[in-house]
Chain A
């Protein structure tokens, strides 16, 4: 983003009160940019509340294709009197503020370095609409009309979007169009339209969709063949299961029987949710759960059980902000350590780190293959930013040749032939034993126990027998290194400085690298996609003198994990952190790196 807003390069922020139905208006606005071919990102900053608290929606148009939060506001629509003072303050110098001028505005709420535009939204809607709820809802569509005039949005695109939304409800189409027109015409008649920066059609969104990562994670699980879900509602992960359920009920329905090939069980808590997943996976179904940090805490005992007894499981952890309840509707990447070593004893888990909804789709699907191949729980770590915001992603493709990797499962025929089956025997020398499913064959029977067991699956308290099993589990971990997705590396031999990052930091890191490059600072980039770390991570660490580890938590958890799990010199790893609950911005990375470099030069 340049210093000043330009055509197709600006940020709109809408301040509202939650429960007033602004979401559909904001989506309409965001999609108008998208359909005009302009890269766009939508970020929702909402309260942990149903009605009456402040909520903001931010739309960034970026002709350069940057999809992270911009960190600035060029046009602000102030629909919430309670936050007006703060919202006014947030507008960048030279920007615009639109407010509802139906009521007088206090004189002291002014700024002389921005342009303030009053639109009597409530009065316009009260004159046009009669029902109370309609009057509230339509104010939102009316401000979209105002913005459409100011930013020169393509009216045919808006019309088509309204038609898509209300195809089944012509009356609503009419009233929404009327509300849009109220705002549009008022702005045209009273302001100089368009603004110096505006939307102009581009061709940069073809082959893309605007989607949230909870939807894509749900689709990943659906396409991977998940049949059992145990879950407990928790913000911000709930819509993973809501979406999965909605699609599964339609797409998994057997046309012959009318029954649905899926069991979605709302558990009594997260302890039960993961118990159900382990029970179903033990029994040979692909099963998963979706949760957030507090849920991971509750699932930890069972995660250790799953690790030690070697039962596949897939968890999607949509990370949220804070220790304890924290800020459930804000984002963070603060569960990295909690997930990597969840549970007591010598326990470690395979983690996958999608950077955006597109990767959330593919990695959630891959998690099932990994969980079954490695016979262990796999946790997909997204976050609220990925999970609940609208991201521009490439169209999702499902390989028609895909077949699930069910791993080493003894078939009835294999059991028939074998003399004796031993559950935990490392027959292939890769640390992964063979498993058998209940009900298949008497020779496959074994006792799954969290207590000490030997390589034959029998109870043991023998020192050597116990250690042989946990050592073999560690060998399996080394095998896992070869199966997990490799990091994304963008590297040139010219640079001795590197950036390592993870997940949803990706967009901001890319923008930061571009800005640093403009200032003559080159940095290579590695984004980890999985734990355990692949060989490429060690190579990258070895190849750089100074490495900035960019992540969204206070305690530099990815950096800690790198220190624990690689042979890197701690002095080389510099933490660049962002953890206020809002999605990371490029500026925080640029500033962090510049400050460190300045310190280095001063020394």
Chain B
């Protein structure tokens, strides 16, 4: 694999966002993943989401762990800093970076191995801190870079390419996240960009930890008959409980849907998520209800997609820590130095 720069020729007719940038300004290096990889579709959705939200590219920070998914920060937003860390440890890097400067938009990219096996601890604790970031889990049920071992998200009975059948129960990232206080839990499918883009936008604008678990088939090692993470299986078994619309601040909401089937959630910056619900009784602000719904459908072999849960009121890490508005990385030293007088006062107690 080598580093390939993507030719940067923008058609003059390309739409521009509020910053005057085109979608090309949010692109990155050429993907080196396998042709047809679900991850590339997710990257495309991310590019679209960042473009539509008019985020200045250099105000984003991309963080990842190790694995196919964790390579993807190289494939979008060349004008953003990226941090491809060590296996399973992206959440801690994101935590430190966020503590140093909470003003940037943090986009974490991880996979099911990186998140649910080696990085399970860090994943859970970042959720507990309600770290303000978008955490994208590109979930294919398999270790791709090491050629096809089951991951912890593989379903019981799912068959590997070479014929082995997984016997261990999966860890469902959404149920796990719901159980430990995650404030934004969504699931989507890399094959459904229209479904995914609004979720990513809402996740970015959510203040707190936004988990978007995206079923992202591995075309090389896990897209065959008998796999429960293939394109075909996911298409047949995915069942959307909500379709999200992201509505920027100060935009009028027009809904022609029947009352009770649209749930609007206002985010802290004034933007809103409109949830078009398939079942009128689904409430995306009810944690236990969401857990129950996803579990029941999972038992029937169905993959529930959509924004499953959102809680915009819970304080994020910065609020819990009562951190100053000015990023810590730019507080002038004069404000940090207690000075000799303070040192003398401290030392007086040591005589």
Q: Is A210 an interface residue (CB 8 A)?
A: yes
Please give, as numbers and ranges, the residues of chain B lying within 8 Å of A219 by CB-CB distance: 343, 346
Please give, as numbers and ranges, the residues of chain A lying within 8 Å of B323 by CB-CB distance: 259-260, 263
Tell whether A279 pairs with B346 under 8 Å between CB atoms, given A227-B336, A272-B125, A402-B337.
no
Tell whether A403 pairs with B333 under 8 Å between CB atoms, given A276-B96, A439-B101, A449-B84.
yes
Contact A209 B347 (CB under 8 A): yes
Which of these, B84, B91, B350, contacts A210 with CB under 8 Å? B350
Tell whether A302 pairs with B99 under 8 Å between CB atoms, given A254-B324, A282-B83, A402-B337.
no
Please give, as numbers and ranges, the residues of chain A lying within 8 Å of B91 by CB-CB distance: 272, 275
Contact B84 A279 (CB under 8 A): no
Q: Is A446 an interface residue (CB 8 A)?
A: yes
Q: Is B178 an interface residue (CB 8 A)?
A: no
Contact A228 B96 (CB under 8 A): yes
Q: Is B146 an interface residue (CB 8 A)?
A: no
Q: Is A445 an interface residue (CB 8 A)?
A: yes
Contact B92 A448 (CB under 8 A): no
Interface string of B62-105 (1 = CB under 8 A from A): 01000000000110001111111110010111111111110110
Q: Is A7 an interface residue (CB 8 A)?
A: no
Please give, as numbers and ranges, the residues of chain B lying within 8 Å of A521 by CB-CB distance: none
Contact B84 A395 (CB under 8 A): no
Contact A225 B59 (CB under 8 A): no
Q: Is A396 an interface residue (CB 8 A)?
A: yes
Please give, as numbers and ranges, the residues of chain B lying within 8 Å of A215 by CB-CB distance: 350
Q: Is A351 an interface residue (CB 8 A)?
A: no
Question: How many chain B residues touch A (Cβ–Cβ < 8 Å)?
Answer: 62
Q: Which residues from 300 to 351 on chain B have a C-beta closer than 8 Å to any C-beta of chain A? A: 317, 321-325, 328-331, 333, 335-340, 342-343, 346-347, 350-351
Please give, as numbers and ranges, the residues of chain A lying within 8 Å of B255 by CB-CB distance: none
Contact A222 B338 (CB under 8 A): yes
Which of these, B2, B86, B317, contacts A450 with CB under 8 Å? B86
Contact A275 B96 (CB under 8 A): yes
Chain B residue at smallest Cβ distance from A206? B351
Tell whether A276 pairs with B324 under 8 Å between CB atoms, given A222-B338, A450-B84.
no
Contact B343 A228 (CB under 8 A): no
Contact B103 A439 (CB under 8 A): yes
| Residue among B92, B122, B317 having the largest count of chain A Cβ atoms under 10 Å | B92
Report the minimal beta-carbon distance from A461 to chain B, rounded to whole angstroms: 7
Please give, as numbers and ranges, the residues of chain B lying within 8 Å of A180 by CB-CB distance: none
Please give, as numbers and ranges, the residues of chain B lying within 8 Å of A446 by CB-CB distance: 81-82
Contact A397 B340 (CB under 8 A): yes
Please give, as numbers and ranges, the residues of chain A lying within 8 Å of B346 by CB-CB distance: 219, 247
Report the minimal beta-carbon distance from B79 to chain A, rounded to whole angstroms: 4
Q: Is B57 an interface residue (CB 8 A)?
A: yes
Contact A254 B58 (CB under 8 A): no
Q: Is B61 an interface residue (CB 8 A)?
A: yes
Please give, as numbers and ranges, the residues of chain B lying within 8 Å of A123 by CB-CB distance: none
Bound Cα distance A446, B29 (Å): 12
Please give, as numbers and ranges, the residues of chain A lying within 8 Å of B1 by CB-CB distance: 459, 461
Which of these, A31, A445, A447, contacts B84 with CB under 8 Å? A447
Report the minimal beta-carbon distance from B261 to chain A, rounded to whole angstroms: 41
Bound Cα distance A438, B95 (Å): 15
Q: Is B36 an interface residue (CB 8 A)?
A: no
Which of these, B78, B95, B347, contacts A276 with CB under 8 Å? B95
Chain A residue at smallest Cβ distance from B335? A261
Which of these, A230, A439, A442, contacts B95 with CB under 8 Å? A230
Please give, as numbers and ranges, the residues of chain A lying within 8 Å of B317 by CB-CB distance: 265
Please give, as numbers and ranges, the residues of chain A lying within 8 Å of B325 by CB-CB distance: 257, 259
Q: Which candidate, A63-71, A283-291, A325-333, A577-585, is the interface stretch facing chain B?
A: A283-291
Please give, as numbers and ranges, the residues of chain B lying within 8 Å of A34 by CB-CB distance: 351
Q: Is A510 an interface residue (CB 8 A)?
A: no
Please give, as numbers and ranges, the residues of chain B lying within 8 Å of A398 by CB-CB distance: 337, 339-340, 343
Q: Is A458 an interface residue (CB 8 A)?
A: yes
Contact A279 B57 (CB under 8 A): no
Tell whether A259 pairs with B101 under 8 Å between CB atoms, given A276-B95, A402-B337.
no
Contact B58 A444 (CB under 8 A): yes
Bound Cα distance A271, B337 (Å): 29
Bound Cα distance A334, B350 (Å): 30
Bound Cα distance A284, B103 (Å): 13
Which of these, B57, B124, B322, contacts A259 with CB under 8 Å? B322
Report the minimal beta-carbon distance from A280 to chain B, rounded to whole angstroms: 4
Q: Is A197 an interface residue (CB 8 A)?
A: no
Bound Cα distance A442, B56 (Å): 9
Which of these, B78, B93, B100, contacts A227 with CB under 8 Å? B100
Bound Cα distance A397, B341 (Å): 10
Report the minimal beta-carbon distance from A23 to chain B, rounded to whole angstroms: 15
Bound Cα distance A196, B83 (Å): 68
Q: Is A203 an interface residue (CB 8 A)?
A: no
Bound Cα distance A282, B90 (Å): 13
Please give, as numbers and ranges, the residues of chain A lying within 8 Å of B78 by CB-CB distance: 445
Report the minimal beta-carbon distance from A460 to chain B, rounded to whole angstroms: 7
Bound Cα distance A336, B179 (Å): 43
Contact B84 A451 (CB under 8 A): yes
Contact B331 A227 (CB under 8 A): yes
Contact A251 B342 (CB under 8 A): yes
Tell whether A445 pairs with B81 under 8 Å between CB atoms, given A211-B350, A279-B97, A302-B89.
yes
Contact A278 B96 (CB under 8 A): yes
Interface string of A396-431 (1 = CB under 8 A from B): 111010111000000000000000000000000000
Contact B86 A301 (CB under 8 A): yes
Contact A276 B351 (CB under 8 A): no
Bound Cα distance A116, B79 (Å): 79
Q: Is B121 an interface residue (CB 8 A)?
A: yes
Which of these, A402, A448, A460, contacts B3 with CB under 8 Å? A460
Contact B96 A230 (CB under 8 A): yes
Q: Is A441 an interface residue (CB 8 A)?
A: yes
Q: Is A349 an interface residue (CB 8 A)?
A: no
Contact A437 B93 (CB under 8 A): no
Report the minimal beta-carbon distance from A409 to chain B, rounded to whole angstroms: 10
Q: Is A223 an interface residue (CB 8 A)?
A: yes
Interface string of A270-308 (1 = CB under 8 A from B): 011111111111111101000000000000011001000
Please give, as numbers and ranges, the residues of chain B lying within 8 Å of A402 by CB-CB distance: 337
Q: Is A252 an interface residue (CB 8 A)?
A: yes
Report the minimal beta-carbon distance from B330 to chain A, rounded to whole angstroms: 7
Chain B residue at smallest Cβ distance from A248? B338
Please give, as numbers and ranges, the residues of chain B lying within 8 Å of A587 by CB-CB distance: none
Contact B96 A277 (CB under 8 A): yes
Report the minimal beta-carbon distance from B98 to chain A, rounded to whole angstroms: 8
Report the minimal beta-carbon distance from A41 to chain B, rounded to whole angstroms: 14
Report the minimal beta-carbon distance from A246 to chain B, rounded to whole angstroms: 10
Q: Is A269 an interface residue (CB 8 A)?
A: yes
Chain B residue at smallest Cβ distance from A289? B96
Q: Is A155 an interface residue (CB 8 A)?
A: no
Report the minimal beta-carbon distance from A257 to chain B, rounded to whole angstroms: 6
Chain B residue at smallest Cβ distance from A31? B351
Contact A438 B101 (CB under 8 A): yes
Contact B93 A275 (CB under 8 A): yes
Report the minimal beta-carbon distance from B93 to chain A, rounded to whole angstroms: 4
Which of these, B57, B63, B336, contacts A261 with CB under 8 Å? B336
Bound Cα distance A273, B342 (Å): 29
Contact A223 B338 (CB under 8 A): yes
Bound Cα distance A417, B100 (Å): 26
New A-B contacts (12) at CB < 8 Å, excluding given A275-B93, A444-B81, A450-B84: A210-B351, A230-B92, A261-B335, A265-B129, A275-B91, A276-B95, A282-B97, A285-B96, A285-B328, A400-B340, A439-B104, A450-B85
Which B residues are closer than 8 A to A by beta carbons? 1-3, 56-59, 61, 63, 73-74, 78-86, 89, 91-101, 103-104, 121-122, 124-125, 129, 317, 321-325, 328-331, 333, 335-340, 342-343, 346-347, 350-351
9 residue pairs of the A-B complex, CB under 8 angstroms, read: A260-B323, A263-B328, A275-B85, A275-B86, A283-B61, A285-B99, A396-B343, A397-B343, A398-B340
Which A residues are closer than 8 A to B by beta carbons? 31, 34-35, 208-211, 215, 219, 222-223, 225, 227-228, 230, 247, 251-252, 254, 257, 259-265, 267-269, 271-285, 287, 301-302, 305, 395-398, 400, 402-404, 436-442, 444-451, 458-461
